Every structure is written in structure tokens, then in C-alpha cells.
Structure 1
């Protein structure tokens, strides 16, 4: 039974057990029912019931090429879930992005659109248009979108539905989840999260930090934020605002930040600060802009010198963060990736010089492997989280 939508009693236990089986298949790969029982600690009969239900929901399949029976191994159960989709969206100053991820972790949709009017605050209608079009296409193709998560460059309230403050978007207490749910026809639960948090999750599941338990992700767009992952979980802080590192007062004290304050780190190392340093105009997305700057740097020593100076400013911030958080690895995303050859060496040198514990442990600086879709991919993972936890029945 359920009470006000919350499962109770045996229904709650059943969902928890189902989530346990799904997580085992996702993290450890296919297994027979007997192996799943051993992995999860559940009774084999319980696992059998769960597998049958998941087969009916098209979430798993059993390999029919391996016969089962007396004296033969059981058939491996494989997580498929092609029809079960989490929709991840990202809204930023100069683009919107969408990623559709199925239950087995396969990307089904990958799309980015530049904003219609660069240099002006983004309209939520541009995000809504992309989101509703992508979802409608998925549903026409026979997929079920179980939820959506939106990554935003700003502070998100504890309800995971309200954008508390996003200065670069000029949003303040925006009820973004409710706006999207209304556009979806109120049949697609939607949540909001910080873009750096989402990108950090994506890197830990799909990218360059799958091998470490503690990592720090730094966005590289107009804004600079951080996502902190410990043992697969995000560290959010007391109000959920952990990671707003772009506004640490360690930048040029004469530079005005998008938040209106002077001396924020973001004002010295964000995308527009980089463009000002090298004298290049912004293109349609941060990635395209950075590629153009990287091409220029191959020919122009002045551009290379400006990027090295920016790298040193990046390193100052990383040393501060590493001294507090002690990450095993630091990931630079966004515009930093195409410019890594010019920025990372300088940043790494400053990190080694300024981090007190560098002689004992020096975090590796890694470049994101997920491109501009990192935050949207992590948002899609988040949209599937209730399925894997058992909170959402298939």
C-alpha cells in the first residue's frame, strides 16, 4: 500500500530490493539469479520475482543463448532498459543542452543549441522548447521518460525545484521545476541541481574520475563552480550551496564579477576573463570559443603567454580548494579542455608550490572527457536516481 504517494510496508521493502538488484547490475554487470542473490544478500526466490517484474518492465533481459537447467549454469541477467529514460538538461548563459540516458547508461540523445540572442539574459522558453521537443521525440519512439533534471549555473534551494540565485542568468528565486513540469503536462517529475554538481556526477560515472573515490570538478564557462564527490555522493553543505568557488575572493581585486562584487576568482579565470586576456571575441558556445583560441595559440606567443598567466590564476584557486578538500583528482571542464596544454602546466606548478601537503599528496589535474554535455549527462543520471534507489517503481 501507499500513504500519500509514499510506499509503506511490503511495498517499500519490495522497491528497496528492486533498487538493490538494479544497482548491482549497473555497477557490476550481468549475473545469473543465483549470483545476484549472492551479491545482494537477497533470497533467490526474491531475486527471481524481482527479475520477472523487471523483465515485464523491459528493464532487464535474460540471455537465452545460455540454457539453464540441472547441471547447467543459470542464464545471465543483463540490464537493458532501452525504453526507460532519464532526461538531463543544462541551461547556461550562451547555450542549452539535452542528454537522454537509458537505464543501462547508454546515451540516446545528445543535443546543444546556442541561445537565440547572445549577450542578453536567456529566456526559459528556449530551455522549455528544447526539453519538450526532445521528450516528445523520445515518447514517439516508444521510450518512457521517468523524470528530468535541469543543471543550472547557480544556487539551488533545498527543495531541488527552485533556482535561488543565478547571477549570470539574472535569475532570482525562479520556480524552474514547476515551469518545466507544466510544459510537460504535469506527467514528468522535474528537479533542479547545480551544473557543477551534475558534471561531477557525470565524470565519476562516465568520465575521468571513475577510478577515484574523492574528486573535485571545476566548470569552465562564464561562471566557475565546483562539484565535490566523495564515494559516489555529492557533498552539498548545510544549505546545499557547497561548491560556489567562483566567488572566492582570490581574484584580481579590481575586477567586477557577474555577482556585482570585486575580486571573485570567476572574474579572473572565467570564460570572459580569458577572452579579455587574449583579445578574442566569444563564439556560440564556450567550447567553440576555446577551440578558436587554442588554434590562435599555436601561432601566437602573446596568446600563449596570456593563457599561462591565466593558468597561474587557476592554480591559486586550486591550491586553496585542495588544501581544504584534499581531492584525489581535480577535473577541469568546459573551456579549459581545449586550452589544457597551455593552462594545466602553469596551474599544476602553482598548485605544487602553494599546497602545503604537496610533498605527500599532490592531486592530479585531469581534463574532462565529456565535453560540453558533462552537466546535462550528470543531470540525466540524477533523473534516473529514484529508479536505482527503489523510490520510483517501474
Structure 2
């Protein structure tokens, strides 16, 4: 180990090889040591050493039933479990905070959402810190190891992945959020920050409705509108890491003021509060509860259905603009759009087909998120485990 704490030499190689074995098990399922050696290109003896270490760390288990793989003794399948090794994903938004704990095997262990008591004022971090510490303390009390945390925020994140550069709907500018949480954790849980749409896009690619495509576009559906762009399992971040701030494209109603202070932003026409203004009802505790109330009203009221169709038209205009530039195989609508899909997707799809120049050759599918309001927190939990899979964090 070097003086900087970065592994060098054989330690670095060992961690990289460990990450390779973990990724092989996550991607392709259980395998004998011989099969793992084939998958990874590592020597069987090296795989055996790594499996023994992972088993000691409770990251893998070996099945008692042997499987023949040709010549020699039958092998025992190795399976990725990692039930005690967790990544903590958090999300802070205007009206709620959420937490998801994900184990190394990709299984969700904890899901929790709490409304925040900040109506009419920018939120503090107190609710987020309280939720994060409560969940982490409970997990540790049950014998789990939380290897790291990632926070999803609706705004721009600095290159250090620790600072919220600009989140207008939260009223945050240059907030050192990762440091605040690490202090609350007692400085023993590495914490990073990422954009909420990026996190949700990763979650959909790993667990949701875009596992079958290589290129996808995810659209958040909260007070703010953001996008996450995934290509071959990786996020497209842009030159400064700010790709996806689509809510501030100047394609909305020019008479509407956005939370950023500008006029005519797309999210001022299709964000949650814009939708509520259109249908004329009040906001409830969470975006999901609000959308369910609107869906219930739309089922009974023709004027509400017409208002949502108009919103769908404005949504489709923005989707056509984005699809013309990005050419996604699928577009995923998340957040409040999901319960209202029956009322907004037909109009959005019609505009997309009419306005996209390449529609006759390729028309991206509009899909509704299958992960609900916790998509961003789930993607953040995946990110919190990324260093383990990359082999840069020892178990």
C-alpha cells in the first residue's frame, strides 16, 4: 500500500482480479471455479484464492451440490450473495427524502421514503441526515457492513462528486453535501453525490425497463425535470459532467417562471407543479401520492383528462427534441409520469412520431419506469457498490 492509501503492486492486481470475479458472477450467475477461470481469463488457482477470500467476507457462497465440468473432480458452484455487504443509496428532493440499501447480489434490503417539512422554503439537510443515519444504524445493528453511500440530488454536481454545484429547486449552491453526511456517519462511510436522473437511469438499466437496450434516455418526473443518458451500461456525462439538464431547455411556455428564475424552461411546463397548476389541485406529501390523486380525478373528469393530454403534448415536444439529438432506443418516464401514463403518453407519443425526423426509420419506445419513486435512490445504491465491483475497494 502506498503512502497515499492507493493500493500498489500485487495488492492492486489482487483487488482488480477480485472485482473481475465479482462482475462475472453478477453478470452471468453462479459458476464453478473452473467456469470462473474461463469467464475471467484468470488462473484457476487465482480464482480459488479469490473465492476463498470472498467466502470469508460473506460475499459468495459455494453450493453443496457438485457440477461436472468435464475431466477431473466435479466443481462446486460459486454464487454471489453478499447479503451482509451493502451500498446505501439516498435521494433528497424538494418534498421527500428516500433511502435504499442494496446488497452485493443486487437484492434490495431496505426501502424508505419520508416527506420533508419544508413547505415553501428551501429544504435543509436535516431530514436527509436523519434518514441516512437511522437506516445505516439499523443495518449495522443487524450485522451488515455498509461499504459506502451515494446521494442523488436534483441538480448539478461538481467534478469531485462531493459538492452540489447548483440545485435551484433546493436552493443549494456550492453545498458540500458529502462532507456533511460523512461527518454524521462518524467518518467511516465514504459518501459521494450524483445527479438524480443519472442515478435513476442506471437503476433502470440494471433493474428496470431498459435492461434489454444499450442506449436509453430517462426523464425524471418530479418538480424538476432532468435526464439520464445511458450508453452500454455507462452514463453519458458530457464535457463538464452536466449532461442531462434538460428541464432548463427554453422550449416551454414563455410566460411561465421556472424555479431557476428564467422564463420558458421545459420543466415550468411539464414539471410536477406545472401539472398541478394545469389540473387545478393541491400537492400532497410525495410526487407519487400527488400523481395517484390526479389519476383518480382524471378517471372521473373529462376536463382533467384534456388538461393532461395538453401536458402530454408539451412533454412530447421536448422528447422529440432530445430524441433528434440523442437517438435513444427507449425513453423512460419516471416519477409522477408513471401513474399518469395512460393520460400523457398517447399525446407525447403522437408528437414524438410527428416531430422526430427519423421517426419513419426508428421511433424510440416510450416506457414507464417500473421502479417508482425510489429509482434514483436505487441507482445511488448501485453507485455506492461500484468501487467494490471495480476492484478499487477491498471488502
For Structure 1 versus Structure 2, the TM-score category normalised by the shorter chain is over 0.9
The corresponding residue for 2:81 is: 80
Structure 2 residue 174 is matched with structure 1 residue 161: no
Please give the per-residue CA displacement for 1:114-154, whole angstroms capped at 9, x wherever unaligned: 01232321110110000001000000000000000000000
Paired position in structure 2 for 1:216: 217
Whole-angstrom distance in 2 between the partners of 1:164 and 1:84 = 31
| CA distance in structure 1 between the partners assigned to 2:67 and 2:319 by the alignment | 55
Q: Answer yes or no: is 1:128 the counterpart of 2:129.
A: yes
TM-score normalised to the size of structure 2?
Answer: 0.98
**Secondary structure, counterpart of 2:388 in structure 1:** helix
User: Who is 1:285 aligned against?
Assistant: 286
TM-score where L is the length of structure 1: 0.99
Measured in 2, the distance between the counterparts of 1:281 and 1:213 equals: 39
CA distance in structure 1 between the aligned counterparts of 2:329 and 2:152, rounded to whole angstroms: 25
The residue that corresponds to 1:384 in the other structure is 385
CA distance in 1, matches of 2:42, 2:63: 21
Partner of 2:20: 20
2:348 equivalent to 1:347: yes
Could you tell me whether the CA contact under 8 Å between 2:90 and 2:377 is conserved in 1? yes
Q: Structure 2: how far apart are the matches of 1:179 and 1:391?
A: 24
- For 2:387 and 2:3, the matched residues in 1 are separated by 18
Count of equivalent residues: 394
Task: Sort the Cα spacing of 1:67 and 1:211 in 2 relative to 1 into closer, same or farther, 3 A.
Answer: closer
- Within 5 Å, give how 1:95-174 maps onto structure 2: 95-174=96-175
1:1-394 aligned at under 5 Å gives the runs: 1-66=1-66, 71-394=72-395
User: Is the CA contact (8 Å cut-off) linking 2:67 and 2:77 kept in structure 1?
Assistant: no
Worse-matched range after superposition: 59-68 or 201-210? 59-68
Q: 1:4-47 deviations in whole A, cap 9, x for unaligned?
A: 11111111111111000000000110000000000011111111
Any stretches of 5+ residues in structure 2 without a counterpart? none
Matched residue SS, 2:212: coil
- Cα-to-partner distance string for 1:218-269 (whole Å, 9 max, x where unaligned): 0000000000000000011111100000000000011000000000000000
Q: Helix, strand or coil for the counterpart of 1:88?
A: strand
Q: Secondary structure at the match of 2:344?
A: helix
SS in 1 for 2:173: strand
Runs of 4+ with deviation above 3 angstroms: 67-72
For the residues of structure 1 that align with 2:317 and 2:164, how far apart are their CA atoms?
29
- Structure 1 portions without partners, runs of 5+: none
Between the aligned partners of 2:67 and 2:2, the Cα distance in structure 1 is 39
Give the stretch that moved more between structures: 5-14 or 196-205: 5-14
